[in-house]
Chains A and B, each alone.
Chain A
Amino acid sequence: MMRSRSTLLLFSLVSLLLFGGVTPQAFADTFVFTAIPDEDEARLRQRFNKVAAYLSKELGVETKYVPVKSYAAAVTAFRNNQVQLAWFGGLSGVRARNLVPGSEAIAQGYEDQAFLTYFIAHASTGLKSSGTFPAGMAGKTFTFGSKGSTSGRLMPEYYVRQNFNKAPDEVFTKVGFSGNHAKTIALVQSGAYQVGAVNFKVWENNLKSGKIDPAKVAIIWTTPPYPDYQWTIRGDVDQRWKPGFKQRVTEVLLNMKDPDLLASFPRKNFIPAKNADYQPILDVAKQIKLID
């Protein structure tokens, strides 16, 4: 009995060792892209599967979207050449292009030229919407979004430091990272944190879908505009697919006219972008030491 069992075990282990390490090279000539997980995953999947179908058709190359769970995972996948194109935020894009020489920002949404962060507060704080920076936040509890987010971390931290001349954990009694914008809203709405910083597009989407109770949480300040999301592509795609491939991808992205597709981002349209457009983001990131 025991003998047959151990034989079986041995047999199965050998098979595991033989087959376990096999990784299908399924994506060998598939053009793969990803996006930072800044929103509901169902929404992202729906949006980017449509984008994948559109790119496949227009490029004549099989194109696939792979979802990831964190901003860092998106950057790492791009760096490791497991994806060749990505819809990055300002900060993740700058990071990715720093790590992959030759990679380029090729297109951004019309709205991304002037993106905004909302500072939001629970009603009990008594903080009111105002045109000037809300210095009354000091001493409250505060939550950012994801650690790698431009609108949920980089820009709000920059303005906090600039206005208070102190690090966030010296300004606030408690500083948290909610993980994503939707959670930031939920945590401030429940009063778990008194104040938070959130992507203005996500706020507006959630307001429309009725997830926000205006009696409990409200915008108290809006940052000055800054450049945010963009499509970034690796420099070696021309060698891998065909000469002029990068140019072709750029044109196809800029020609995305399907109103449904654009509305899913939501962006009015896509316009050309270049690495230099994101210099302000790089400068800010270096200033607050998120990039060496």
Chain B
Amino acid sequence: MATVPGISAPTAPRYSPVVKTSAAFVAVAAGCLLFADISITTLDPWSEMKRIAWGAVTPDFGAVAGLGMVVLQTIAFALCGVALGAVGGFLLSQVFHLGAVRWTCASVRAIHELFWALIFMQVLGLSPLTGVLAIAIPYAGICAKVYAETLEEAHLPALRSLPSGTGIVSAFFFVRLPDVWVHIKNYTSYRFECGLRSSAVLGFIGLPTLGFYLETAFSEGNYSEAAALMIIFYLLIATLRYWMRPKLVGLYVLIAPFLLGGGAAIDMSNIVRFLTVDVVPAPLRGGGLLEGRTWSGLGDWAGTLLIDQALPGMVATILLTQIALVATGVLALALFPLVSKKFFGPVTRTVGHVFLVVMRSTPEFILAYIFLQLWGPSMLPAIVALSLHNGAIIGHLVGRFSDEVRLRPDSPRGINLYGFEIVPRVYGQFLAFLFYRWEVIMRETAILGILGIATLGFFVDSALADIRLDRAIFLIAVMAAFNVAVDALSRQIRNRLRLSTRAGQA
């Protein structure tokens, strides 16, 4: 066939780096699937599932005494934790260029709120401060990073037009901050929604929030009560924008500390003991520091922990994370049209929103527990729980983003619109969200460890159950280092693919 002048002959397709990266992640996940145990072992899940389903349609709102107070306390913990975290994060964002600050922030946010709470529980007991700090500390780390990135992106033309001699402080408050204020405000309010989830989940380990009663209801099989609690929680999240008005925030934050409730008194000696005895590796306690035996004991201690626990825990963590990451991506791409104005009318979108709110607000922990009943103990319940939860979050964000895409008047419709217009145009943003979520998914695998899936979190939970805090802290440190590494890798990939940094909202 003769070539037409001016049109080059078709060559082998050249894939963009974005496509190649996506393909690589899918391939890795497929490889992980070969090693992961995803068998279904239940023989008779239906009797329990029937009870769960029956509970879901017969919510019992009268079952929890003092439900109003529980809801208020859930909000109060979120408010106090997020307020402290946001202010701390804002202050830290001003010095975020310092390496030490960046690394500190990366490591504190690498540890899930639940584990922070378990650590604080050792020293502060079930005091309200345990819950507030468990939210505030990791959130400060996250906010610091996002605020710093947002401020960096502030428009410079305005800065350049300032008269010479304008002080740094004035420039900051009158030029830089106003420019990004909307973003910071939006991000902080998004953080508050996360804070509500965190606050509820902290109830699982004993704080007086919704999770406390949810855990009880679930572990006792009172599914009607559990359904009532979940519905209240969904309503709380869904109505957030109606009651969380900017003008009222100040008032809320003023009242919140008084709603946290009392708790055990804080004893300085417990804090000292925790720092000077509990976290010291057992072989070093009381052993002479000059004796060889002490150090060989420490070597054995660290070696055993690394080989018997940290290593298998890490393998399980990687398998679960990579599979769940790709499953999350696939699900998000499938779900986002449900809430996108480009595809559906208001009725379908409302249904879509309800579904996504339910999926993203149900703690992964509970999803995994239900699937565990259904399929038995393998990695499958964890994979599905993580991908539903995170897929719903990213689906929601991508859906919102797709609304802003401007279409030609003669754009295709239906599946063609999806495949040839919208997906290609939102794909970069989608990947950015997904890569931001990578680290989050890894952090969440640890939580599922508490349910018995042998990730690093499982071994941390075992060490805490045995009151071996030295081992717990060591394993938490390994977990944190691992998360920081994934975070760094994700940033590198995002930079290479030139994906937006504003995706921190995920």
Contact = CB atoms under 8 A, between A and B. Distances in A.
Interface of A: 2, 5, 8-9, 11-13, 15-16, 19-28, 32, 40-42, 66-73, 75-77, 79-82, 95, 99, 122, 124, 141, 143, 146-148, 174, 176-180, 182-183, 186-187, 189-193, 211, 213, 216, 290-292
A67 B203 CA distance: 12
Given A26-B262, A77-B264, A69 B42 contact: no
A82 B45 contact: no
Given A13-B87, A66-B126, A186-B221, A192 B206 contact: no
B461 interface: yes
Contacts of B464: 72
Given A12-B83, A13-B87, A69-B215, A191 B126 contact: no
B125 A77 contact: yes
Contacts of B219: 179-180, 182-183
Contacts of A124: 43
Interface stretch (B105-113, B369-377, B483-491): B369-377
Contacts of A5: 246-247
B320 interface: no
Contacts of B87: 13
Given A27-B265, A182-B220, A174 B377 contact: yes
B376 A68 contact: no
Contacts of B253: 9, 12-13, 15-16
B466 A148 contact: yes
Contact of A292 (B80, B252, B264, B282): B282
B299 interface: no
A80 B270 contact: yes
A32 B265 CA distance: 12
A177 B452 contact: yes
Contact of A27 (B47, B264, B373): B264
Q: A-B pairs with the 4 shortest C-beta distances?
A: A191-B43, A8-B250, A82-B264, A12-B253
Given A77-B125, A187-B373, 14 more contacts: A9-B250, A16-B254, A26-B262, A42-B216, A73-B126, A76-B125, A80-B125, A124-B43, A174-B377, A174-B378, A178-B452, A182-B219, A191-B41, A193-B376
A128 B126 CA distance: 45
B249 interface: yes
A70 B125 contact: no
A124 B44 CA distance: 10
Contacts of A73: 121, 126, 205-206
16 contacts: A5-B246, A16-B254, A16-B257, A20-B80, A20-B132, A69-B212, A72-B465, A141-B376, A182-B219, A189-B48, A190-B44, A191-B44, A192-B45, A192-B372, A213-B47, A292-B282
Contact of A82 (B42, B125, B451): B125
Contacts of B452: 176-178
Interface in B450-506: 451-452, 461-462, 464-468
B67 to A, nearest CB: 15
A182 B129 CA distance: 32
Given A13-B253, A19-B257, A41-B220, A25 B47 contact: no
Given A20-B84, A23-B262, A73-B206, A192 B41 contact: yes
Contact of B181 (A2, A41, A191): A2
B288 interface: no
A148 B84 contact: no
Contact of B206 (A11, A13, A68, A75): A68
Nearest to B49: A190
B467 A75 contact: yes
A212 to B, nearest CB: 11
Contacts of A216: 44, 47
A290 B471 CA distance: 13
Contacts of A71: 465
A101 to B, nearest CB: 13
A190 B48 CA distance: 7
Contacts of A291: 466
Nearest to B178: A2
A22 B128 CA distance: 9
Contacts of A148: 465-466
A209 to B, nearest CB: 11
A11 B206 CA distance: 31
B257 A20 contact: yes
A41 B132 CA distance: 25
Contacts of B247: 5, 8
A193 B48 CA distance: 14
Interface in B179-238: 181, 204-206, 212, 215-216, 219-221
B419 interface: no
A231 B219 CA distance: 25
Given A69-B215, A77-B126, A190-B373, A25 B206 contact: no
B80 A23 contact: no
B291 interface: no
Nearest to A39: B220
A42 B212 CA distance: 12
A56 B126 CA distance: 23
Contacts of A180: 219
A69 B206 contact: yes
Interface string B110-154: 000000000001110111110010000000000000000000000
Contact of B205 (A22, A28, A70): A70
A191 B376 contact: yes
Given A16-B84, A99-B467, A191 B264 contact: no
Contacts of B35: none
A242 to B, nearest CB: 20
A80 B267 contact: yes
Contacts of B129: 21, 23
Nearest to A32: B264
B263 interface: yes
B266 interface: yes
Contact of A72 (B45, B125, B132, B467): B467
A40 B220 contact: yes
Contacts of A191: 41-45, 376
A41 B254 contact: no
B384 to A, nearest CB: 15
A176 B377 contact: yes
B376 A23 contact: no
A141 B461 CA distance: 21
A143 B212 CA distance: 24
Contacts of A22: 257
A188 to B, nearest CB: 10
Contacts of A77: 125-126, 264
B258 interface: yes
A76 B432 CA distance: 42
Contacts of B252: 12
